[in-house]
Structure 1
Amino acid sequence: MPVLWHPDISERNIVVPETGALNVLGLIDWQHAVVKPYYLQANFPPAFQCEEETLAPTPVSMPKLPADYDTYTPEKQAIVRRQHRLMMRHKGYEMIVYTITDSQLRVRANWLPARYGRGNLPFFALRCWGDGIAPLLKCLLQLRERWSEVVGEANLPCPIDFSQIEEEEFSREVSRADRYTSVTMELREYFAIGADGLVSPERYDECKQECERLARLWNEEDTRAASARNGSLDIFGTFAPSESLISLEALV
């Protein structure tokens, strides 16, 4: 079933009232919107997505704060509260989707083998110039690993052919890129900034000073491959987990 789907329902693209009751007035940034099969479009909107499931014992459980939460340091409590908030939002969206809307169709789409690789391969193939090759490699590795499930035949050879050395190297590249993405997301939350690094004039000096402190803590080995492909983020600090990184360039 072909559908038109907004490609990036993230927080920065959802329009809400400045005051009064909170409701969605509209969506902006419709570039890259296309009509494609439903199973390739029905993604989990970034605005409600939380990759980590550590606060929920099973996929259908509601997240809970750890029993020993009160013993955590203030810094760790802040991290756990943030994760809990994101997981609650994630689970809330899941409940709406699977109990109110086209639940059976969405369930079937989500359970397709290698859905991430299928749905993102065309986009990431066109974005290597800006995002690096790691996202594309992630799609190819997943499709290669689950090829027999994708085509429904055990003996049909996969056209994606990597040597063992290449596969190991690409897997390390993807792991570093995933780590890089995870840390930058933590940073945006830590500094309360958007994807473009915007910060209010009142907070500029404070954020810049913190950037300079964290830049001295950056673990180059951790995200070397990924950071080398992103020219906009070139001065870093580590996330340890109470530490973070950010680009000074993005704050200028």
Structure 2
Amino acid sequence: MTIYRAPFRPANWNALVNRSPLRSYSLSHSCALASSQAAELFEYTSGRWIYNEPRRLSERHLAFNVDELKEAVATSVNRPTSDIKSFRKIAEGGFNRVFDISMKDGSFILARLPYPSTLPRRLAVASEVATLAFIRAHGIPTPRVLGYSVEDNAVGSEYILMEKLPGRPIGDAWFDLSEQERIKVLIQIVQLETKLFMMDLPASGSIYYARDLPPSTPKIDIPGSDIGLCIGPYAALRWWFGERGDLDIDRGPHYNSRRVLQTHAEKELAWIRAYGRPHLPFERAYRETFDYKKQDPEEHAKSLRDYIRLVPHLVPTSSRLNLPVLRHPDLQPNNIFVSEDLSITGLIDWQHALVLPTFLTAGMPNSFQHYHDEESMSFVPPRLPDDCDSMDEDERASAREQFRRRHVHFFYLGLTQRFNEPHWHALEQETDLLKRRIFSDAGSPWEGVNTPLQMDLIQVSQNWSKLAPVQSDGTIPACPIVVSDQELQRIAALDESLREVDCEMERINGLLGVASDGWTTNEMFESAKEKAGLIKEEGLAAVGDDPWLKEMTDKHWPFDDCDEIE
């Protein structure tokens, strides 16, 4: 399946914690920061982008009243502001900026402020705060919220004030753990996930305090909650990306799986009707595959309508697979805090968390799965090659990394089978991986590429006998969609071409030392820019003498500044 790299998936803030030094400010000498110091608190300083940097920086610009934030922090712990010893920025990423506030008694408080561009406004913060309260009450270690605001306030920004967790994010150390150390961490992760799967939730959506939702907003009370928790609208970014926040549409909560499946596509259809127009694929590297032609959103709308025709047949007949479950939205090493002995002390970053039916929320976290490897998919115990020690250094490193990925995949599955039977039951369903993929692709904001959803539709039609529920008379209903051989060959060729582009882009990004959106460290920025320029020279030279192709290659080069809405 083509890797989908949309711009609404910015880097997780915590992944950037240790990437660059951030200034610390002592507040004992003054109640206010110098303007130059305050400016640095308001700007993104943890890295650079080799293209469209002004736009990325503008998205992350956040001005706020520092003194009022200090007052809110002090109030949250019943202290005077004079007890604040220092105030420093420790992390920033695609959604939030995080500050560490130390008190004179040695305690620490974290203040997390979302950027003005972080969506959905108010709901993202409100949902995360309520989600943290809900899961803490069920034994999941998370930061305790000391205070928050989702309304207009004197700080000039929404914010969450939290306790600082003990321990440290496991981060890059994850890749250096021994086999037994990895297993120790995985056991704890699976056991915590088991608690999530056992929680009683009434519907799909996101978790809120009822007081934080407007009276007219649909909501469903969570049984047994004595602090006013409820299920409300989905807080996932895809529901609010671009102009989607302006649409008058059904965003949940939903009691039944059919509505969950259907509304994701209805949202995109509503957006296409209101705002859709032909445009080039957002990923400039894809544009050559489409002959540099603008793509018609009506083609995607047709695929969405085909998906909706399939929805009734995608809902499992088993009630167990339809039970609502909350999962961590981004369970990866930088969001897992551990002590020195690798005991998990907390899971952070629950922003945009969703409650979904079990068959849709099941699946291995991206950081642990190795689905593209045949041996991993076969659930075979991993082992290093017999000749590993005789390999050259690069081959040995590659073999060890392959083993590590297989090891994590195998033991996550094995431990899930042992400790988390509801999740294992869902993972055992042969076709649910395809159901989750088509659900995701049908709900992803359209940005000029329809191929992933088209390939899903083809795979559903090809696996119809396994997907379709058997009727009372023992027969299987006919597949509601038909894909001609000619259309199948066309879409498969496009998909293969886009796969090749993804592989090439991954290779080039690795050479440059940049992320898929062009982000790199401050230290590597100049080198990455220089390398990108050299690669462009080589690319233009390789085009040959065709003036049109050379013009298109130059105009749509993936590592140059560009208009992101074409």
Aligned to 2:356, which of 36, 39, 54? 36
**Structure 1 position 83, deviation (Å):** 2.8
**2:447 paired with 1:130:** yes
Change (3 A) 1:109 1:55: closer
Find out whether 1:48 has 2:368 as its counterpart: yes
* 1:130 Cα deviation from its structure 2 partner: 3.3
Q: Report the 3-state secondary structure (helix = DSSP H, G, I; strand = E; otherwise coil) of the residue aligned with 1:106.
A: helix
How much does 1:151 deviate? Answer: 1.5
**Are 2:512 and 2:532, in contact at CA under 8 Å, matched by a contact in 1?**
no
Residues 1:122 and 1:188: Cα distance change in structure 2 (over 3 Å): same
Q: 1:43 to 1:187 in 2, by over 3 A?
A: farther
Alpha-carbon RMSD across the aligned residues, in angstroms, is 3.7
Change (3 A) 1:57 1:141: closer
- Cα drift, residue 45 of structure 1: 0.4
Question: For 1:186-221, what per-residue CA distance to the aligned partner results, in whole angstroms no more than 9, with x for missing partners?
Answer: 66666665454432222223333444455536999x
Measured in 1, the distance between the counterparts of 2:517 and 2:365 equals 19
2:527 aligned residue: 206
Match of 1:25 among 346, 371, 374: 346
Q: Deviation per CA, 1:77-99, whole angstroms, max 9, x where unpaired? A: 44444333322222232232222
The SS at the match of 1:117 is helix
Instruction: Pick one of 393, 412, 415 that aligns with 1:93.
Output: 412
State whether residues 10 and 46 of structure 1, in contact with CA within 8 Å, keep that contact through their aligned partners in structure 2: yes
User: Paired residue for 1:229?
Assistant: none
Quick one: structure 1 residues 88 and 25, their matched pair in 2 at CA, closer, same or farther if it must change by over 3 Å?
A: same
Rounded to whole Å, the distance in 1 between the matches of 2:430 and 2:361 is 15
Distance between the aligned counterparts of 1:148 and 1:185, measured in 2?
36
Question: Equivalents in 1 of 2:514, 2:391: separation in Å?
Answer: 29
- Please give the secondary structure, in 2, of the residue aligned with 1:95: helix
Distance (Å, rounded) in 2 between the aligned partners of 1:76 and 1:37? 43
Q: Does 1:159 align with 2:480?
A: yes
Whether contact under 8 Å (2:324, 2:358) holds in the other structure is: yes
Letter of the 2:325 partner, please give it: V
Cα offsets for 1:209-250 (capped at 9, x unmatched): 444455536999xxxxxxxxxxxx943xxxxxxxxxxx4669
The structure whose Rg is larger is 2
- SS of aligned partner of 2:519: coil
Which residue pairs with 2:285 in the alignment? none
Match for residue 70 of structure 1 among 390, 409, 412: 390
1:102 aligns with 2:411: no
In the alignment, the residues of structure 1 paired with residue 377 and residue 389 of structure 2 have an alpha-carbon distance, to the nearest angstrom, of 16
CA distance in 2, matches of 1:139, 1:234: 29
Superposition TM-score, scaled by structure 2 size? 0.34
Q: Which has the higher helix share?
A: 1
Task: Report the CA distance shift for 1:26/1:4 in structure 2 as closer, same or farther (over 3 A).
Answer: same
Q: Structure 1 residues 146, 4: CA separation in 2 closer, same or farther (over 3 Å shift)? A: same
Separation in 1 of the partners of 2:383 and 2:438? 32
Amino acid at match of 1:132: V
1:4 aligns with 2:334: no
- 2:328 alignment partner, SS class: coil
CA distance in structure 2 between the partners assigned to 1:6 and 1:108 by the alignment? 19
Which of 460, 471, 492 does residue 143 from structure 1 map onto?
460
Q: Which has the higher contact order (CA 8 A, sep 6+)?
A: 2
Q: Equivalent residue for 1:111? A: 428
What does the per-residue CA deviation read over 1:126-173, in whole Å, with 9 as the maximum and x for residues that have no partner?
A: 325137222212321221111121114464211122111111111222
Greater strand share, 1 or 2?
A: 2
Q: CA deviation at 1:54?
A: 5.7
- Distance across 1 between alignment mates of 2:508 and 2:460: 31
Aligned 8 A contact 1:7 1:30 in 2: yes
Query: Do the aligned partners of 2:330 and 2:365 also contact (CA within 8 Å) in 1?
Result: yes
Q: For structure 1, list consecutive stretches of 5 or more residues without a partner in the other structure.
A: 221-232, 236-246
Cα distance in 1 between the residues matched to 2:420 and 2:557:
44
Q: Tell whether the 8 Å contact from 1:114 to 1:142 is kept in structure 2 after alignment.
A: no
Residue aligning to 1:82 = 401
2-side partners of 1:249 and 1:24: how far apart?
42
Contact 1:55 1:65 in 2 (8 A): no
Consecutive unaligned residues in structure 2, runs of 5 or more = 1-322, 544-555
Inter-partner Cα distance in structure 2 for 1:191 and 1:10:
24
Change (3 A) 1:152 1:63: farther
* Counterparts in 2 of 1:112 and 1:64: CA distance versus 1, 3 Å: same
State the alpha-carbon separation in 2 of the partners of residues 130 and 148 from structure 1.
32
Structure 1 residue 55 displacement after superposition: 6.4
Q: 2:98 is matched with which residue?
A: none
Aligned-partner residue type, residue 425 of structure 2: R
Alpha-carbon contact 1:42-1:106 (below 8 Å) kept: yes
Measure, in 1, the Cα distance between the counterparts of 2:399 and 2:560: 26
Question: Identity of counterpart residues, as a percentage?
Answer: 18
1:54 & 1:66 partners in 2: Cα distance?
19
- For residues 169-208 of structure 1, the aligned pairs below 5 Å read 169-184=490-505, 193-208=514-529
Q: Give the TM-score normalised by structure 1.
A: 0.68
Of stretches 160-169 and 78-87 in structure 1, the one that deviates more from structure 2 is 78-87
Work out the CA distance in 1 between the residues paired with 2:434 and 2:417.
23
- Structure 1 residues 3 and 150, CA gap change in structure 2 (3 angstroms): same
